[in-house]
Amino acid sequence: MKTLPKEFVESILSLFPEEAGYFFEALSNNAITSIRINVHKKSTAFENETPIEWCANGRYLAERPSFILDPFLHAGAYYVQESSSMFLAACIKNLPLPANTIALDLCAAPGGKSTLILDSLPKDSMLVSNEIIKSRVNVLQENLIRWGSPNFVVTNNDPKNFQRAGAIFDLIVVDAPCSGEGLWRRDASAINEWSMPNVLLCEARQERILQDILPCLKPGGFLIYSTCTFNELENEKQVEKLVLDQTVQPYPINIPADWPCKSNDNFQFRFLPHLVKGEGLFMAVLQKPNVQDDSNKHQKRAGLNFVSKKLLPELHIWLADPLSFDYFMENDFAYAFPKSVLPEYEIIRSTLYVKHAGICMGKFDKNGKLIPEHSLAMSTAIALQIPKFGLNRDEAISYLQKGNINPPNNGLIGWCLAYYEGLALGWLKVLPSRVNNYFPPEYRILKDIQIG
């Protein structure tokens, strides 16, 4: 560990005087790798590893494997996520959310918290996964598509733009951009970027983000605010300002007393490096007062270009429960979106920039047949009867590198899923004399490896 900035050391000595020695010593320890299992994509990946206390699907790993060379990762069987941040699952579990919850992950890239939120919400809900920085939106979209849930929308908007949609959200998660003090154990080089002026810059940015997005929270709705830093300016002081303004109020939650996080009030929680296996985290659970709000009076809804009845049968054959979706066209692509939350999606679509919504099914050819997209292959809503082309590990790696696949000898022909250990990796099209690999080139494994 590099020499810590003097002002940071003084701050920790002030915040945790009795524990500071243990705190500083822990910053020199190696970071522990953790993953979260996708329960909707059954696999043997890491099922026997040590569970994470606050997340039923989280696992600590004894060592860090080569994730990029694991077909299970590309199939969406798990997500590599820092363990402390999975505490979000416990917070959401403690909230009395409605059956059709509309949630927003405001600062979402690269997608760890978004995939966790999708697994934590009631079944017929919708997550708007937003990333403010345009260059980070593609990786967010990729990770959400890989996870497989159809109940999400990817957007790229400034927080203030959401006010055009009105008070539409039952839950808003703000994992705010911060000075990153809690990640130094994982990335010691980040110490060089720390300064008190940067802390103050982050504090001002966080305050603006919160003020801009809170009008979009429904009366009685919940805000979960988090950072991966330690100082009070970016944590408790931000929450204190909101509570003093009566914008929100504390919402205490019940967690086991033996969990190794610090909390004096049960609505603000700190994860410290000498107490947990994960990294530094601050998280607060807040609720908007249940007062009258007229901001939804003039909500607009987009006029979606719904797929014609003539083409619907072609889409229905690809999904396990096709009648639970509505279908619309966008830029020549057909999309399937859950009926349960379509009205809320229409509001989002009419007021914000949407990058992706639901399942991108694909394009129709001149004969009205679907040319399927990768989003459909990865979806947990895909029909079970879709033909499958089984691959061993070597073949799966070759497929993920956009390599050649040998034709099958079982008479399989046409579109089929490239399948590895019971999970889809993407599309193949089997022709009489060859197999076309339709794995998206932008997602392919670029690293050359020795297989076998």
Structure tokens given for 46: 């890491």
User: What are the DSSP calls for 66-94, one per residue?
Assistant: -GGG-HHHHTTSEEE--TGGGHHHHHHHT
Residues 124 and 121: their CA atoms lie apart, in Å, by: 8
Distance between start and end Cα atoms, the chain:
38
CB 118 within 8 A of CB 380: no
User: Does residue 91 have an active-site annotation?
Assistant: no
Q: Are 119 and 279 in contact (CB under 8 A)?
A: no
Rounded to whole angstroms, the Cα distance separating 74 from 425 reads 6
Q: Which of 107, 202, 216, 228 is labelled catalytic?
A: 228
Q: Distance between CA atoms of 101 and 351, rounded to whole angstroms?
A: 19
Give the 3-state secondary structure of residue 412: coil
* CA distance to 33, 35, 225, per residue, from 30 (Å): 9, 16, 27
Q: What is the rounded distance in angstroms from the CA atom of residue 200 to the CA atom of residue 369?
A: 56
Active site amino acids: 228
